[in-house]
Amino acid sequence: MTKELAKNLGQEEWYQALVEECRAIIVETVFTSRIELIRGKWLLGDRLWQEKNKGITKLLTRVSVDLRISERECWRCYKFREEYRDFLNKSGEINIEVLPEGKNISWHKIANKYLPQPKEREKIELPEGKYRTLVVDPPWKTEKILREVRPNQVEMDYLLLTAEEIRDFRDKKGKAIPDLFNLNGCHVYLWTTHKHLPDALEILKAWGVKYQCVLTWIKNVGMTPFSWMYSTELVLFGRVGDLDLLKKGERLDFYGKVREHSRKPDEFYEL
């Protein structure tokens, strides 16, 4: 009886009109949410585009850290503003006609189908051979701390990598960091920041390195961004195989003066 009533209801003109109106509401709601997201991406790109004369590549690298979004996404927003400059007029009104696919468009389609894709980063080439001691100082995706020695420099001097990119890094020949380990015995030192300490531990594990301890560089200066003074930097020590230490009883902390950005102290290499 219920099925028969439902079938008959579907034949009523008023019910068919109701369904069509509800569908239109859903389509319009989905479109509105999509177009607002697209509008936000364009506005972000427009703000970045206004600073293009200040070196857009380095700017996108730095601002992606502070905004906590990917560098690729910043680049897409910038290119969206550049390619579709008439999407918003001076009054902030949307011109949907300039976008492909009309109301079926989405940010995902724009970013992956209608924008030029960024060039792949030029990869470095890792050294040949197998090593019994390896020091890895990754370009963690973090902010640069300005110091008096270089007060006018606001960008990093190199491209930054996420924890996943560091873990899975391969050079242009396809060689990975673990390919450098001497499997008969290798000591691995992995530099990290306090923020990325959990990531560094996971990376060692993924590389097949058995973590043993943390060495601490005690600096002559520090910074206080929130509460504690960050006056130390960390380097994880781990082993592949059973290679013994040449010297035993060395302290896990060492003092060294801060010099150029990212330069590690000579005292570390004397351990």
**What Å distances lie between residue 1 and 5, 6, 12, 13, CA to CA?**
6, 9, 17, 21
Question: Helix 13-49 and helix 71-83: axis angle, to 10°?
Answer: 100
Q: Is the pLDDT of residue 156 over 80?
A: no
pLDDT tens-place string over residues 23-41: 989 888 888 888 999 999 9
What the block records as the tokens of 62 is: 């730095």
Q: How far is C-alpha 73 from the geometric centre of its chain's CA atoms? A: 10
pLDDT reading at 143 higher than 60: no
Question: In whole angstroms, what is the distance from residue 3 CA to residue 228 CA?
Answer: 69
Instruction: Specify the pLDDT at position 148.
Output: 39
Q: Show the tokens assigned to 120.
A: 């792949």
Residues whose CB is less than 8 angstroms from the CB of residue 102 and which lie 6 or more positions away in sequence, other chains included: 96
- Nearest 5°: CA angle at 246, between 245 and 249? 70
- Beta strand segments in the chain, E: 133-136, 186-192, 210-223, 230-240, 253-256
Q: What is the pLDDT of residue 201?
A: 97
Answer whether residue 188 shows pLDDT above 50. Answer: yes
**Cα gap 229→145, rounded to integer Å:** 13
For residues 258 and 42, which has the higher predicted lDDT (pLDDT)? Answer: 42
> Rounded to whole angstroms, how far apart are CA atoms 158 and 236?
22
Greatest mean pLDDT among 5-9, 137-141, 197-201 lies in 197-201
Which residue is listed with tokens 């949307």? 94
pLDDT band at 69 (very low <50, low <70, confident <90, very high): confident
Q: What is the pTM of this model?
A: 0.55
Query: What contacts 172, CB < 8 A, 6 or more positions away?
Result: 122, 123, 124, 125
DSSP result, 80-108: HHHH-TTSB-TT--B-GGGSTTGGG--HH
The alpha carbon of 232 is separated from its chain's Cα centroid by a whole number of angstroms, namely 24
Q: Mind listing the pLDDT tens digit for each residue in 202-260?
A: 999 999 999 999 999 999 888 776 788 889 999 999 999 999 998 899 999 999 988 77
Distances (CA, A) of 157 to 76, 126, 213: 22, 19, 30
Average pLDDT over residues 134-146: 74
